[in-house]
Homo-oligomer: A and B are copies of this chain.
C-alpha cells in the first residue's frame, strides 16, 4: 500500500518512472504529435501542448529531483508528555487521494504524479482534452516505475477519457478524493472552487503588488521592479501593480517607467502618477483589480505604508506582495499587516516558486487560508496523526 510504503520504494518508483520516460520518449512524442495534429484551440497556447526530447528529459530529471528530496512522511512534528505519563506524538502522514485537474501542459501530469508519490498520496490525473494522448503516454511510463517498485499501479490513475463529466464527478467525490488541486487559467480554477464538494488548494490569480516605500534604495527599487514585472510576465508571481510613496515618486517613478518602457511594458497610472510622468494612460478602478499576465503595469501613488496595505487588502489576491525599503520598522509592519500567503522585503515577487523556496518541486500555489499557503510542495501534501503511547492509563 502506497501510504505505508517505505521511502525507498517510493523513490525507486520515481527513478523508475524517470527511466521509463526516457525509454518511452519516441512513444510519448508520437502521442504528442497525435494531440498536436488534432489541436484546434488558440494558436498562442499550442506551444504549451508541444513536447520535444528536451521537455521529456526535463520531466525525467524532475522526477529524479523529487526522488532525491527528504522523505516528508513519519516526521515527529511535535512530541510531549502529559502529567499522567501519556506520550503524545504528532506524526506526518499522507493526505490520501489527490485529484489533479490541469490544462494543456502535459508535463504537469508527471510533476504532479511525482510529488504525490513522494508524499505517499494516490493521485487521479485529469489533464486537458487537448493533451489526452500525451498524458496517457506519460502515465504509462509512470506505471512502469510503480511496477518496478512493486507499488500499486492504482497509486497514479488517469481519467479514462475526455468526458467533462469526469471532472464534475471528481469535484463531487467527497469521501473518495481528499483534496483537489486545479492548475490552469482563472476560468478553470474558479469553476473548480465554486463547484467542488472536496477541499481545494489553488490560486485563481496572482494579483501581486510591489510597494516602494519612501525610504527605498532607488537603485534597488529599479532593479527589483524590472525583475518583478518583466522577468516573465505570464507567471502568477509577476507584479501587476506598483504602489509608490508620494514622497519618492517624483524622483523615482520616471526612471522606473523608462526602465520598464524600454523592456516593452505599458502602463495604467492614477492621476498622481500621471502628474509626475505625463503621458501615461489613465488607470481605471478595474485596472487595479486586473491580473495582467502581460507587459502591463498598473501604477498608484500612495501616502505611505498603511495606504499601501489597505490597497492590497482591497485589490489583492492574497498571493505575493513585496515592500522595498531601507526602513526595517516599516518593513516589519508591512510583513505583519499584509495578509497574503507570501510577503517579501527587498526582493522580487517572482521568487514565489517552490523551487526558489527550496521545496524542490511544487504542485501549485495556494492562496486560501486552510491546510497550506504559497508554494505547495511535498511537505504541504501531508497531514498528521496523533500517536499516543500509554501504560494502561484510563481517563478520570
Contacts and interface: CB of A to CB of B under 8 A. Distances in A.
A357 B386 contact: yes
A88 B389 contact: no
B343 A385 contact: yes
A392 interface: yes
Interface residues of A, number: 64
A392 B231 contact: no
Interface in A378-394: 383-394
A339 interface: yes
Interface string A340-359: 11111111101101001110
A224 B392 contact: yes
A369 interface: yes
A347 B199 contact: no
Contacts of A179: 369-370
Given A178-B369, A351-B395, A344 B383 contact: no
B389 A350 contact: no
Interface string A351-379: 10100111000000000111101100000
A193 interface: yes
B217 A96 contact: no
Chain A contact residues, majority secondary structure: mixed
B370 A383 contact: yes
A109 to B, nearest CB: 23
A200 to B, nearest CB: 9
A394 B341 contact: no
A285 B262 CA distance: 74
B335 A394 contact: no
Contact of A347 (B346, B374, B390): B390
Contacts of A344: 387-390
Interface of A: 3-4, 74, 80, 82, 86, 88, 93, 95-96, 174, 178-179, 193-194, 197, 199, 217, 220, 223-224, 226-228, 231, 331, 335-337, 339-348, 350-351, 353, 356-358, 368-371, 373-374, 383-395
